Amino acid sequence: METRLRMYLAGGVAALAAFLFVSLAFSGQFNFVHGGVFIVFFVVVMVAFANFIEWAESLESS
């Protein structure tokens, strides 16, 4: 479980850095509400995808 938490943390930090860079590059400003919504959405999608991968792998081993 600790490895999964580290994966989510690293993915969230990388996504926030990318969002920050793109936001500043194209608009010149950063909105914290948009950044927070993006991080929440990103983590939800990442958790769902990790669960999907586990489910698919469990079907292969059966």
Assess whether pLDDT exceeds 80 at residue 62. Answer: no
Q: What is the pTM of this model?
A: 0.71
Q: What's the rounded Cα separation, in Å, for the pair 19 and 11?
A: 12
What is the model's pLDDT at position 45? 92
What is the model's pLDDT at position 3? 82
What is the model's pLDDT at position 1? 61
Secondary structure in 3-state letters for the chain:
CHHHHHHHHHHHHHHHHHHHHHHHHHHCCCCHHHHHHHHHHHHHHHHHHHHHHHHHHHHHHC
Q: What pLDDT digit, counting tens, does each position of 3-60 carry?
A: 888 888 888 889 889 999 998 999 888 888 988 898 889 889 998 998 998 899 888 8
Burial tier of 11 (Cβ tally within 10 Å: 0-12, 13-18, 19+): middle
